[in-house]
């Protein structure tokens, strides 16, 4: 952040008070900070506070031209190396997504070519509203970067996702992204995600608890790092928003096997994070099985081992597997690393709180084929994904050297 020109946009939410700490910490990091506030933001925190913390004038009015030789919002748009919107309300997100420029922040942001980081803060129900989700997806497609809000007790009394991320975390995420923005530029990355479904009859299937969040986080992070990403996913309720991600939807283990083998040869990094069914029913019924007295049995047969097959066909690819275990976690994970000819494996204990399926967070151990272990403590899956890709990039560089 040293000597970086940071333009901080503060919009009208109770979390505006955290922007004061963010301004101070950016200053302490050596950044030059200027602040723009919406009219509603000034009702929560005085512009004088930000002026004292930033040691620069605070901008609130598009038509208040402090220097007659310059147009203020264009001058600020050109001056900024980085723009941060924190807190970002549903209102400013909606404006930017639809191209509305009716105040100092929106006119400046729409006129800049600097990277833009948005840290939302709002009620949990607002954050999950379809229109807000759509607007955030649109902005992501435009190249904006989102710093996800935290979960917890909100000022409105609700408990859930929507709390502005802490200033230290916001700075850390931006620093990480800035330093690794082109980490995987020119690389092709193949990722599998989610569960598979193995049909029993027209209305039933066998599956598992995977939501695909870890694989999708890896795909988004790889795309942000400049890679061309192919994501092969089982049936999940997740969207892909980055323009550098090609999505292939599959349902069964066999469909995922065919898709992964087809895409495998032309990729540089391959990460199999999908929870693929190990078994499927040997007989699939054409008609719905009717309820009957007593128990029912299904004979199961093995599905193809996708990861082992990829390991046997590997040429130049850096191949990474996942091991979701509940006991002897490291032992089983390392055995899988060698048996399937992997370059690295990501091991987690899915019975551990904060890790595994149906969770926003994860706790993992990354082990490469040299038996070097790296612990990633509990963190959002998006952050875990970024750290994993940095480890993969480092190991690939070591091999090339």
Distance CA 208, CA 216 (A): 17
CA distances from 299 to 58, 122, 255, 286, 331 (A): 71, 50, 21, 16, 30
Classify residue 195 by its DSSP letter.
B
**Main-chain phi, psi angles of 305, to 5 degrees:** -85, 100
Smallest CA-to-CA distance from 127 within 107, 151, 95, 111 is with 151
Distance CA 116, CA 120 (A): 13
Residue pair 260/306 in contact by the 8 Å Cβ criterion = yes
Distance CA 167, CA 6 (A): 14
Tokens of 298: 């299904």
**156 among known catalytic residues:** yes
Reduced to 3 states (helix: H, G, I; strand: E, B; else coil), residue 258 is helix
- Pairing mode of beta strands 279-281, 300-302: antiparallel
Residue pair 137/241 in contact by the 8 Å Cβ criterion = yes
Which entry of 52, 156, 203, 284 is annotated as an active-site residue?
Answer: 156
CA distances from 369 to 129, 228, 372, 399 (A): 44, 25, 7, 11
Distance CA 64, CA 189 (A): 48
Q: Label residue 386 exposed, middle or buried (CB < 10 Å: 0-12, 13-18, 19+).
A: buried
Distance CA 275, CA 322 (A): 9
Annotated binding site for CTP: 278, 288, 322, 336, 340
Tokens of 10: 């503060």
Helix axis angle for 90-98 and 130-142, nearest 10°, is 50
Catalytic residues: 156
């Amino acid at each position: 952040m040293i000597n970086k020109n940071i333009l901080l946009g503060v919009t009208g939410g109770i979390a505006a008070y955290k922007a004061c700490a963010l301004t101070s910490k950016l200053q302490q990091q050596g950044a030059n900070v200027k602040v723009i506030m919406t009219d509603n933001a000034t009702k929560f925190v005085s512009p004088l506070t930000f002026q004292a913390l930033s040691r620069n004038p605070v901008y609130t009015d598009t038509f208040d031209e402090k220097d007659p030789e310059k147009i203020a919002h264009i001058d600020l748009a050109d001056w900024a190396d980085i723009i941060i919107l924190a807190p970002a309300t549903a209102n400013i997100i909606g404006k930017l997504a639809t191209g509305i420029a009716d105040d100092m922040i929106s006119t400046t942001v729409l006129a800049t070519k600097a990277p833009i980081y948005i840290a939302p803060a709002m009620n949990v129900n607002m954050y999950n509203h379809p229109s807000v989700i759509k607007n955030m997806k649109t902005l992501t497609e435009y190249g904006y970067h989102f710093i996800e809000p935290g979960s917890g007790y909100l000022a409105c009394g609700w408990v859930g996702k929507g709390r502005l991320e802490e200033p230290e975390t916001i700075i850390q995420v931006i620093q990480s992204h800035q330093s690794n923005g082109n980490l995987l530029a020119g690389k092709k990355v193949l990722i599998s995600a989610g569960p598979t479904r193995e049909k029993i009859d027209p209305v039933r299937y066998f599956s598992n608890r995977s939501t695909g969040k870890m694989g999708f986080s890896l795909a988004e992070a790889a795309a942000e790092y400049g890679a061309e990403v192919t994501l092969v996913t089982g049936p999940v309720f997740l969207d892909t928003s980055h323009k550098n991600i090609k999505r292939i939807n599959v349902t069964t283990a066999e469909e995922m096997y065919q898709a992964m083998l087809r895409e495998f040869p032309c990729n540089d990094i391959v990460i199999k994070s999908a929870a693929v069914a190990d078994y499927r029913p040997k007989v699939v019924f054409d008609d719905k099985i009717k309820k009957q007295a007593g128990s029912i049995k299904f004979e199961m047969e093995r599905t193809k081992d996708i990861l082992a097959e990829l390991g046997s066909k590997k040429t130049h690819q850096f191949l990474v597997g996942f091991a979701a275990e509940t006991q002897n976690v490291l032992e089983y994970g390392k055995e899988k690393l060698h048996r399937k000819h992997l370059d690295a494996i990501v091991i987690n204990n899915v019975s551990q709180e904060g890790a595994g399926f149906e969770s926003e967070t994860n706790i993992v151990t990354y082990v490469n084929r040299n038996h070097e272990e790296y612990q990633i403590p509990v963190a959002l899956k998006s952050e875990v994904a970024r750290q994993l890709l940095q480890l993969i990039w480092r190991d690939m560089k070591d091999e090339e050297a």
